[in-house]
Structure 1
Amino acid sequence: MEQQSEQQAQGATGPEVELMKEYASATVLSTAANFIIERGEAFTHTYRTYVRVREQGELELRFWFSNAVDSTWDKGAVAKGSQPGGDWLIEAAYVADGGTAKDGGVAPGTQVPVTFDGNSTRLVRPGERFWSDPVKIDLPSGHDLAFTWTIASGSGRSVPYNTEQMLVTAYDAPGKHADEESGDTFSLSENKLVMPAWIGYKKTVSRRMVFFGDSITQGVRTRKDGYDYWVARIADGLGTDYGVWNIGSGWARAYDAATNGPWLHKAKQGDQVLIALGVNDIDIGERTAEQLLGDLTEIISILKRHNLAVDIILFTVPPFNFTAEREKVWRTVNDVIRNSPPAGVSRVFDIASVLSVPAPEEHRIRPEFMSPGNDPHPNGLAGKAVAEAFLSWYK
């Protein structure tokens, strides 16, 4: 159980929080880790990712790393929530002007090294959290930030990462290629986003918002590089005076968070936490209504013990075309959230009412909001509808 100090009771403090007061989340892309690299032999590999940042121009960036799996993937055969990563080495890391082409290369002459306590390499230990040094870059309007790094590890489990449909364009290549401007040695990445846990830029914001959910929060099934999922659209609507950190994670469930591990640690860095969990608890987790509500209550209790001043917004569970017993659980949980949410919740946003077909079929998502292949993950049109409803409600 987390120990509560007088300092914590008055508000969240500490080096991570203090730095995140100086730096705001630079992107709405979630880089939450739900999988882990596991290989039978040693490897060296380079990853290059193109990210739309919330502001361009002269930026001071800083990167934060968490060497742990945040949430369970599928049934946990490979990766479970709070599982520490292994030992691995950052051999080199760079930021650059990624331009607009997303072709594997970067703008010539724009690569800037990312260092760690003045060093270009960093040995990473299991479960470790750490920061990069500040790095400055001038990014032209409308251009992507390119982050490139080379990672080396021995055999076994090593680097946590996010596996899902790619929401941004990324490339990778075997070997050490982080310093290369050309994309000739790289191939398009598939279902493998290997990134720092947080990208920050030096900026004071009026509110640090953390969107804490599963693949629906992450934006899975929306267009690659489209940023048309609802968290991205909400961020655009609020403007850059609001810091928005998306830690949505595919397959995630509330009972992952209720263990008070690395994933919930990220949520603690916000002064407003927006919780949108429950679909996977009901589905693959097969939790009862009582279990799910108990996990949500525990999450909120931990956040409040950490920082009494934190503002918590709880979302209803989105419709996911549940049937039979799962539909009953979905209805019970949402009835409780709407009418008697757990203590500590400031307000409830009814995302289900935005996405659902009319009663009595409200457990089903509106057909026009479904992703291709009758997938109940909300598409970009749904993201627009949710964002518009949220912004009207929030303001």
Structure 2
Amino acid sequence: MEGEYGSATAVSTATNFILEQETASTRTYRTYLRLRETGQLDLKFWHSNAVDSTWDVGNTAKGSMPGGVWVIESAYVAVSGHKRDGSIIPGSAEKVTFDGEVSKEVTPAEKFWSDSVHIDVPAGHDLVFSWTISAPAGKSFPYNTEGLLVSAFEAEGNKADEEGALFTASENRLVLPAFIGYKRQRKEEIVFLGDSITQGVRTGQDGYEYWVSRIADGLGPEYSIWNIGSGWARAYDAATDGPWLAKSKQGSIVAIVLGVNDMDIGNRSTDELLADLSFIIRKIKQNPERRGVRVVLFTVPPFNFTEDREKVWRTVNETIRTCQPEGTDAVFDIAKVLSCPAPQEHRIQPRFMSNEFDPHPNGIAGKEVADAFLEWFREQNL
């Protein structure tokens, strides 16, 4: 991203939904984030006012849909106490500004940076990001909707600097800047472009059990890890070459983990999915601002497909393993880690399922995938 700033968290900041309401509102959103490093930090926030990926069949939010007009009334960073209950440590809040101003009007599809802000986050404490947003009736700002992987809270009114526990826990609305950065020298900047399996959906809240987070821990903070996994996302969302793919182009290494939703709700054929993956890789490689970027293509994780979808899954993965799209620098076989033994390899191992009916990988799977990836990654010449 911007010069000296790398990603400060492994939490996904991708968007797959947009606020749509009948009346105007002013509401504060507060999120607790475990950082890659603690101590004295120089932070910066970047935002893209657009939906990254399609939710469900796209009735409300589609990939590359621009956000509307809305206003940041105020924004603060602070330090968590020993509980994630909506409160912050008194006196720890630091104001976030935008070109020196405390508020900012955001226009459709706008991309913008905050000013830098300094804060001391002690070990064992979270960064708490709070911002108050005024939104008009109709569609306004993009956010992520899913089972929350971190503690997030909301309160009516302008309460971004409020210290007490006056907030209500959010159920499925994560409202964050698109990039949470901190100043640090990095060896590599790895972007993980994927769906809910990359995001970590269905793993424990505040547990950081999903494989992207565990990979970040294993590689250490000299590797910036930007997770833009997005629930219900498809390769064809990225293949629009819109805001989501633009984010992925910021990496020196881009890991692509897409295909499950293309085969499922997208009902894409083998040829269509492989064409989209090829297009994504080509666009990443052609980015004039990132010469020498390397692309790691993952096989499509098993998702208990049957019949025609199983056939597509098998054909796509065989192609990725043996004749991957041009521009692919390496292939990581995530399916091999998660799958049942043949001939049931299209099914995820039951011990890896988030519950008996849901094939989203759980925290145990997160460890298995991360361990396998880290061993594989260290052997690669990337």
Q: TM-score, normalised by structure 1?
A: 0.94
What letter corresponds to residue 133 of structure 2 in structure 1?
Answer: I
Kept after mapping to 2: 8 A contact 1:100/1:144: no
Task: Give the aligned partner of residue 273 of structure 2.
Answer: 292
Q: Which residue of 1 aligns with 2:43?
A: 61
- Match in the other structure for 1:121: 103
Matches within 5 A, 1:226-305: 226-305=207-286
Task: Give the superposition deviation at 1:98.
Answer: 1.3
Task: Indicate if the aligned counterparts of 2:215 and 2:374 stay in contact, CA closer than 8 A.
Answer: yes
Aligned-pair Cα RMSD in Å: 0.7
The equivalent of 1:215 in structure 2 is: 196
Separation in 1, partners of 2:40, 2:268: 48
Match of residue 352 from structure 1: 335
Spell out, residue by residue over 1:88-147, the C-alpha distance to the aligned partner (whole angstroms, 9 max, x if none). Answer: 000000000112310110000010000000000000000000000000000111100000
Distance in 1, matches of 2:236 and 2:63, equals 9
Cα distance between partner residues in 2 of 1:242 and 1:100 = 28
Aligned residue number for residue 139 of structure 1: 121
User: Which residue does 2:163 correspond to in 1?
Assistant: 181
Q: Where does 1:314-333 land on structure 2 (aligned, <5 Å)?
A: 314-333=297-316
Aligned to 1:369: 352
Work out the CA distance in 2 between the residues paired with 1:142 and 1:98.
Answer: 9
Partner of 2:89: 107
Identical columns (%)? 62
Structure 1 distance, partners of 2:185, 2:262, is 36
Q: Distance in 2 between matches of 1:371 and 1:33?
A: 23
In 1, distance between residues paired with 2:55 and 2:185? 35
**Alpha-carbon displacement from aligned partner over 1:140-174 (angstroms, at most 9, x marks no partner):** 11100000010002111001000000000011011
Cα distance, 1:373 vs structure 2: 3.9
Q: TM-score normalized by structure 2?
A: 0.98
| Structure 2 equivalent of residue 8 of structure 1 | none
Distance in 2 (alpha carbons) for counterparts of 1:99 and 1:317: 40
1:374-389 superposed matches below 5 A: 374-389=357-372
Q: CA deviation at 1:183?
A: 1.5
The answer on whether the counterparts of 1:213 and 1:249 sit within 8 Å (CA) in structure 2 is: yes
Q: Does 1:205 align with 2:183?
A: no
What secondary structure sits across from 1:99 in the alignment? coil
1:26-76 CA deviation, whole Å, 9 max, x = no partner? 000001000000011111000110000000000000000010000000000
Q: Structure 1 residue 245: deviation in Å?
A: 0.3
Q: Deviations for 1:167-188, whole angstroms, at most 9, x for unmatched residues?
A: 000110111111211122x100
* Whole-angstrom distance in 2 between the partners of 1:122 and 1:389: 44
Measured after TM superposition, the shift of residue 368 of structure 1 is: 0.1
Question: 1:237 Cα shift?
Answer: 0.4
CA-CA distance at 1:85 after TM superposition = 0.3
- Paired with 2:81 and 2:228, the residues of 1 have a C-alpha distance of 26
Q: 1:72-91 counterparts in 2 under 5 A?
A: 72-91=54-73
Tell me the distance in 1 between the aligned counterparts of 2:127 and 2:199.
20
Cα displacement (A) at 1:204: 1.1
AA at the equivalent of 2:341: P
Name the counterpart of 1:337: 320
The ranges of structure 1 where at least 4 consecutive aligned residues each deviate by more than 4 angstroms after the TM superposition are none
Contact 1:213 1:252 in 2 (8 A): yes
* Contact map agreement 2:350 2:356 (CA 8 A) in 1: no
Q: Distance in 2 between matches of 1:194 and 1:118?
A: 22
Q: Can you list the C-alpha shifts for 1:315-339, whole angstroms capped at 9, x where unaligned?
A: 0000000000000000000000000
Segments of 5+ residues of structure 2 without an aligned counterpart are none
Q: Is the 8 A contact 1:70 1:262 kept in 2?
A: yes
Alignment size in residue pairs? 376
Tell me by how many angstroms 1:308 deviates.
4.3
* Shift of residue 212, structure 1, vs aligned partner: 0.5
**CA offset at residue 374 of structure 1?**
1.9
Secondary structure of 2:6 counterpart: strand
Q: Is 1:161–2:143 an aligned residue pair?
A: yes
**1:192 alignment partner, one of 163, 166, 173:** 173
Tell whether the 8 Å contact from 2:144 to 2:174 is kept in structure 1 after alignment.
yes
Tell me the distance in 2 between the aligned counterparts of 1:34 and 1:150.
Answer: 20
Is 1:46 the equivalent of 2:39? Answer: no
